[in-house]
């Protein structure tokens, strides 16, 4: 079957990530079209090589896909640690900070990533940006008093170094979209975020905000798939006693 250029890139990134999987691992399985490619390739490897791995899904959609493909699953509550999480991203910058949540699974994705020894992001080159913010930033909020929470977020943005400040409520077929955890999603149309760590901390301090789609200092590697089937790897290397802010980013590209 011939793949579209976009699917070729997603497949290439997923195949490269699959080389990091070892027998006996517990894996965090991301959500979205690119992460879906990883789950499919993982299923094929399980059947081909008989490796023993267990997945922790980050959404109900990923649960359905993994079960359909025969990838063993467990709940996060049943494991002490996840060895490796592989997930997509809506944007990533040069510091490997991310915007995630286009698929409304950001809360579970962040919980799984935080419980992991390593988070690897798979993406195509269109997700690489100089500054985060062109993709609307999702913010998961509780439904109780959500309009008050929205006003608080709006007031916060007035003092933030961003280009835009429009906020919309994510909608589904029957009104506001409800996440797997029973929450609403606000989408912040910011254009450009000039201090992503500051914004992430400030958003999380608002009562009613559950979590934002800013993943700061969480990804250890980004694998970029190319339309010709090649990949580029950007890896964060942190020496003992070195803060993440001082970490060197190493890049290599397939020949």
What is the helix (H) or strand (E) element at residue 140, kind and residue range? strand 137-141
- Residue 88 labeled ligand binder: yes
114 is in an annotated binding site: no
pLDDT at residue 254 in the model: 63
State residue 152's pLDDT score.
98
Tell whether residue 34 is among the known ligand binding residues. yes
Instruction: Identify the pLDDT of residue 124.
Output: 95
Active site residues: 109
Residues of the chain with CATH 3.30.70.260: 137-210
pLDDT in tens, 102-114: 999 999 999 999 9
52, 58, 64, 68: CA torsion to nearest 10: -20
The model's pLDDT over 122-181, given as tens digits with 9 standing for 90+, comes to: 999 999 999 999 999 999 999 999 999 999 999 999 999 999 999 999 998 889 999 999
Is 100 annotated as belonging to a binding site? Answer: yes
pLDDT of residue 1: 63
| Residues of the chain below pLDDT 70 | 1, 238-249, 251-255
Please tell me the pTM assigned to this model. 0.93
How far apart CA 38 and CA 142 sit, in angstroms, is 31
CATH code at 5-126+217-253: 3.40.50.1360
Task: Output the CA torsion 84→88→89→95 (10° steps).
Answer: 40
For domain 137-210, the question of CATH label 3.30.300.130 is answered with no
**Residue range(s) of every CATH 3.40.50.1360 domain in the chain:** 5-126+217-253
Establish whether 228 is an annotated binding residue.
no
> In what side-by-side order are the strands of the sheet with 209-212?
166-169, 184-189, 137-141, 209-212
User: Does 164 show up as a binding residue in the annotation?
Assistant: no
> Does the annotation flag 102 for ligand binding?
yes
**pLDDT number for residue 241:** 45
Residue 32 labelled as part of a binding site:
yes
Q: What is the DSSP string of 24-45?
A: T-EEEE--SHHHHHHHHHHHHH
Position 255 scores a pLDDT of 39
Q: Which residue has the tokens 């988070």?
A: 119
The pLDDT value recorded for residue 115 is: 97
């Amino acid at each position: 079957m011939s793949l579209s250029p976009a699917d070729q890139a997603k497949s290439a990134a997923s195949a490269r990530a699959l080389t990091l999987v070892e027998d006996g691992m517990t894996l965090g399985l991301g959500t979205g079209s690119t992460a879906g490619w990883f789950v499919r390739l993982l299923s094929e490897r399980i059947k081909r090589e008989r490796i023993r791995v267990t997945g922790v899904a980050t959404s109900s959609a990923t649960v359905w896909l993994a079960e359909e493909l025969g990838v063993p699953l467990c709940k996060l509550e049943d494991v002490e640690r996840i060895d490796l999480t592989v997930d997509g991203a809506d944007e990533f910058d040069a510091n490997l900070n991310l915007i995630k949540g286009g698929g409304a699974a950001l809360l579970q994705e962040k919980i799984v990533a935080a419980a992991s020894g390593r988070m690897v992001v798979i993406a195509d080159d269109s997700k690489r940006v100089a500054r985060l913010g062109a993709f609307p930033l999702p913010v998961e909020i509780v439904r109780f008093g959500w309009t008050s929470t929205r006003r608080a977020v709006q007031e916060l943005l007035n003092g933030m170094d961003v280009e835009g400040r429009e906020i919309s409520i994510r909608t589904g077929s029957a009104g506001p979209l409800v996440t797997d955890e029973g929450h609403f999603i606000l989408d912040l149309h910011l254009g450009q975020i000039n201090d992503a760590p500051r914004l992430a901390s400030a958003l999380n301090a608002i009562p009613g905000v559950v979590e934002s789609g800013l993943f700061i200092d969480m990804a250890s590697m980004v694998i970029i798939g190319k339309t010709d089937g090649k990949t580029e790897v950007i890896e964060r290397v942190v020496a003992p006693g070195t803060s993440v802010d001082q970490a060197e980013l190493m890049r290599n590209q397939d020949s």
